[in-house]
Chains A and B, each alone.
Chain A
Amino acid sequence: MLNWIWIGLILIALMSAGAQDLGLIHLPEAAGHVAEKGSRMAAVTEAAFDSAKTAVNIVIGLIGIMAMWLGLMRLADKAGLVQLLARVLKPVLRRLFPDVPDGHPALGAMVMNIAANMLGLGNAATPLGLKAMEELDKLNPRKGTATNAMCTFLAINTAGLTLIPATVLGILAAAGSKAPYAIISTTLIASGVATITAIIAAKILERLPIFRVPRDGEGPPPDGGPDAGKDGSP
């Protein structure tokens, strides 16, 4: 699925830029941008190289923060804090992640990631989330294929449940808003709906034949091996 989205993004970009350069489409908003770069295609080329560079810069920035949190997480893990967190939230976690054994460190790491996201601590959230993925992958019998627990975890993560959307408040305040905090309540409602939808969707879709992972000991499906329908291709 990521495969098709990746191809789609690039092909749409090329077609859209090509059509504009050839004069097939005229966008009033684009006039300034095109004049500045010469052509849309030139802008697309530049963006491709810039983005590749940005990706590495992001990772370099992340390595230090990652190292710090992984160090702290190891301490928290050895001190039993991560397991404690997992035990306290056991009733909820058992329903969300039935495949993860009680008291597994993955549970604690996932809780800490979700908590960091809710508090708007982006810098802490990513390393904790990657730690959770590492722990979940230890339970994964088929390396390279996502497990149900991973998909449910990422469903909650990408639904963006936040108590204080600090960046958004900053942007509104910078634009001269008289009441930036008005959007906190609407954001909570919208992200609450998104989170519940995400959990329900994850639980339903994981059972569909095209997304299902064959269990151990089950023979490969007749239509061509365990990877048939991989990535949920349409």
Chain B
Amino acid sequence: MRELLQGVATTVSAWAVPVMIGTILVAAVLRRLPVYEEFVEGAKDGFQVGLRIIPFLVAMLVAMGMFRASGAIDVLKAAAAPLLGAIGFPPDLLPMAIMRPLSGSGAQGLLAEIAKTFGPDSLLGRQAATMVGCSETTFYVLAVYFGSVAITRTRHAVFVGLIAEVAGFLTAIWVCRAVFA
């Protein structure tokens, strides 16, 4: 059963883009569109969008890079450990909770480290893996998406992202404990 699921999952991922491209091309031909010309016309915007998001991305990545290099996450972990124990949140996963919305590669590095230290099939390893899987690099997404249309007044977007992040993490910790422990 698991192998079947795995096979289906791999096939869907591999076929999704080609099927999408094929469908778009066939539909465009049926509509008698000048396919090549229209594609090139649309593709022209790629460069502009890239240029627009550069300053936003530089700002975000510089702040995140400095934060990661400063060891601030370890300082926060040491400071918050007793508090986290009280709500049943493993202190070893706090760095992951802080890193996840900031940096995708940072969170993946932490996951690899946790899997090596505690074992990839340990409860802690699976909790960390679920945390990475159930969320996004929120700040990166907000910076790039809003940056692409030059929006600086982001209203409630950041709060909503963080609330969802916390809800996902707490669920990840609890569900893994219920299923695997």
- B-binding residues in A (CB < 8 A): 1-2, 5-6, 9-10, 12-17, 19-20, 25, 27, 29-30, 33, 40, 43-44, 46-48, 50-52, 54-56, 58-60, 62-68, 70-76, 78-81, 116, 119-121, 124, 126-127, 129-130, 133-134, 136-137, 140, 143-146, 150-151, 154-155, 157-160, 162-168, 171-187, 189-191, 193-195, 197-198, 201-202, 205-206, 208, 211, 213, 227, 230-232
Contacts and interface: CB of A to CB of B under 8 A. Distances in A.
Contacts of A165: 129, 132-133
B42 to A, nearest CB: 3
B12 interface: yes
Contact of B136 (A13, A60, A157, A201): A157
A76 B21 CA distance: 9
A72 B28 CA distance: 10
A218 B66 CA distance: 43
A159 B169 CA distance: 11
A159 B145 contact: no
Contact of A150 (B47, B134, B136, B151): B151
9 contacts: A13-B70, A48-B65, A55-B54, A116-B16, A137-B151, A140-B149, A172-B129, A177-B121, A232-B156
Contacts of A180: 120
Contacts of B65: 47-48, 50-51, 54
The residue among B9, B30, B35 with the most chain A CB atoms within 10 A of its own CB is: B9
Interface of B: 2, 5-6, 9, 12-13, 16-17, 20-21, 23-25, 27-28, 30-31, 33, 35, 38-47, 49-51, 53-54, 57-72, 74-75, 78, 101-102, 108, 111-112, 115-116, 120-121, 125-126, 129-136, 138-139, 141-146, 148-161, 163-165, 167-169, 171-172, 175-176, 179-180
A173 B129 CA distance: 11
B71 A59 contact: no
B135 to A, nearest CB: 5
A145 B153 CA distance: 5
Given A54-B61, A194-B165, A67 B149 contact: no
B70 A43 contact: yes
B113 to A, nearest CB: 9
Given A130-B145, A183-B130, A43 B69 contact: yes
A48 B148 contact: no
